[in-house]
């Protein structure tokens, strides 16, 4: 068992001392009482007319069973997924139209140190919000798809409609969708106790499919994975590698010799600008091949996520989009106006009006999009995917310190104590070598303004082991800067 979480930071225990965090991205939290949490939808199949009941918000920052810290979450409502007491982005739920096995409810939440969002320090007073979003794979059931299919025959096409009068140029949405749909797949994952439906896309001609970890998690331990293309062809698949902290996974088609595979072109998420057009493709609520459009509504949005079943949290510095994304879209591509992939759709935030057990024991229902979707930037996902294909094991950049996730000031505070009463800064680690000490408050990491622990984790994970990053911090009322050379940790903690 590793003594560092995904970001290289040990987690704090409830007794005031720190203990190792497993699966967290290099940050840990100080002891704190868990706040009462509203309920969240469970992801049970709903009747066609009902659609998707909504989920509820979380308050508080409990720890998962592994001891990994969870981000502090002011009350803001979840969506398709409910996370553990910590900031949670829950994974995808199943779709088969019938009774499901035990499932985690899904919910999306917004995190910030106080009910009123705090302005970032620096340029134009940007408002920072750490989102605990709901993972969006899985959903209501076959009933909706059946109803939609029956209704599709009732439409009348005008005889005057001339294709030449329609905008179906290669650069139009129709043109981009026509090229991309054959490379987008619907993934069904089933295990001994749960199943789920999500999306993925062709990564290379060797049969590798890129998707979210939470989409394939149900089949990770001896379960079954199937991949269905837009032409109806279905293949069995196997997991090549999973990175729980990044929420990225790579699977590979079996017995697909001779299959014509066209990888989707990958863009540059660093060059994306707010306002750029976006196209999302996936299988919301089991409706494969669904295309929706929108814009990039924000960049570098801190998002914390969990599967709602006590697993370590995932963190990302996400692309935010208002393209409609719902349960089942998880793992699908977010495309730009050129048809290049700029992100992997992973989570949503939405309101909630349902009831039930936020930890998966009650009867709840998944809610849908309110125009706040979050995608893992493709630059980060590409690095993770290439590492998984090469070694099967994820690699995380770390600072070698513990972070107080209960700190409500402006910045990310290094914990005052670490695991078993030891130091919160690992001796000889990257933070120690850079002169950082317990209690220091980090306010800037590279070009990123830091307003919380989750923001720092997301920023760390955008870098690679060995990167040198300038860090601004406060100690005793004085602001200083130092340079940190990031270390590495291989593999997800159990």
Any idea which residues carry the catalytic annotation? 214, 247, 330
For 152, list phi and psi in degrees, rounded to 5.
-65, -20
Contacts of 233 (CB under 8 A, 6+ apart): 259
The position carrying tokens 């709602």 is 308
Q: What are 221's two structure tokens? A: 């331990």
CA distance readout (Å), 415 to 12, 13, 267, 422, 426:
8, 12, 38, 11, 12
Kindly give, in sequence order, each residue whose CB lies less than 8 Å from that of residue 425, ignoring residues fewer than 6 positions away: 400, 401, 402, 414, 418, 431, 432, 436, 437, 438
Residue given tokens 């140029």 in the structure block: 169
- In which element (H, E) is residue 454 found? helix 453-461
Residues 205, 187: Cα–Cα separation, whole Å: 18
Distance CA(227)–CA(493), nearest Å, equals 28
- What residues pair up with 444 in beta bridges, in sequence order? 449, 472
- Rounded Cα gap, residues 286 and 388, in angstroms: 28
In angstroms, the CA 49 to CA 148 distance is: 11
C-alpha dihedral (345, 351, 352, 358), degrees to nearest 10 = 50
d(CA 51, CA 156): 25
How far apart CA 106 and CA 61 sit, in angstroms, is 17
- Record the tokens describing residue 419, joined without a space: 């695991």
| Cβ–Cβ < 8 Å for 237, 250 | no
Q: Which two tokens stand for residue 361?
A: 């024991």
| H-assigned helices in 129-224 | 142-151, 173-180, 213-216
For residue 384, the surrounding DSSP H or E stretch is helix 378-391
């Amino acid at each position: 068992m590793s003594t560092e979480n995904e970001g290289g930071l040990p987690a704090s225990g409830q007794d005031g001392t720190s203990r190792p965090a497993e699966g967290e991205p290099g940050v840990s939290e100080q002891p704190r009482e868990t706040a009462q949490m509203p309920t969240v939808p469970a992801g049970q199949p709903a009747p066609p007319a009902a659609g998707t009941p909504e989920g509820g918000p979380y308050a508080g920052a409990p720890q998962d069973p592994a001891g990994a810290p969870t981000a502090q979450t002011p009350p803001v409502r979840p969506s398709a997924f409910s996370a553990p007491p910590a900031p949670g982005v829950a994974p995808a739920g199943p779709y088969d139209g019938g009774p499901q096995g035990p499932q985690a409810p899904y919910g999306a939440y917004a995190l910030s140190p106080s009910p009123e969002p705090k302005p970032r320090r620096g340029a134009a007073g940007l408002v920072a919000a750490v989102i605990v979003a709901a993972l969006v794979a899985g959903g209501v059931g076959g009933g909706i798809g059946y109803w939609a299919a029956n209704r599709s025959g009732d439409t009348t096409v005008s005889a005057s409609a001339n294709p030449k009068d329609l905008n179906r140029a290669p650069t139009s949405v129709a043109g981009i969708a026509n090229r991309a749909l054959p490379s987008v797949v619907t993934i069904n994952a089933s295990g001994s106790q749960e199943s789920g439906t999500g999306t993925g896309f062709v990564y290379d001609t060797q049969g590798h499919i890129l998707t979210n970890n939470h989409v394939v998690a149900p089949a990770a331990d001896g379960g079954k994975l199937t991949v269905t293309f837009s032409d109806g062809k279905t293949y069995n698949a196997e997991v090549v590698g999973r990175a729980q902290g990044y929420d990225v996974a790579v699977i590979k088609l079996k017995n697909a010799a001779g299959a014509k595979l066209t990888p989707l072109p990958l863009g540059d998420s660093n060059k994306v600008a707010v306002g750029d057009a976006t196209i999302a493709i996936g299988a919301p609520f089991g409706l494969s091949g669904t295309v929706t459009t929108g814009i990039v509504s924000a960049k570098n949005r801190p998002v914390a996520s969990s599967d709602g079943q006590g697993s370590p949290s995932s963190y990302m510095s996400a692309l935010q989009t208002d393209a409609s994304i719902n349960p089942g879209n998880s793992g699908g591509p977010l495309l730009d106006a050129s048809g290049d992939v700029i992100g992997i759709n992973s989570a949503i935030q939405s309101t909630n009006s349902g009831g039930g057990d936020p930890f998966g024991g009650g009867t709840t229902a998944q809610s849908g999009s309110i125009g706040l979707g979050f995608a893992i930037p493709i630059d980060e996902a590409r690095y993770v995917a290439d590492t998984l294909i090469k070694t099967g094991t994820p690699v995380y950049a770390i600072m070698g310190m513990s972070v107080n996730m209960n700190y409500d000031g402006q910045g990310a505070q290094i914990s005052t104590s670490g695991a078993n009463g030891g130091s919160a800064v690992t001796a000889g680690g990257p933070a120690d070598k850079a002169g950082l000490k317990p209690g220091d408050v980090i306010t800037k990491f590279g070009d990123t303004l830091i307003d919380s622990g989750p923001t720092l984790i997301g920023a760390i994970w955008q870098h690679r082991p060995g990167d040198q990053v300038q860090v601004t911090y406060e100690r005793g009322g004085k602001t200083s800067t130092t340079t940190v050379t990031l270390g590495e940790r291989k593999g997800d903690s159990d």
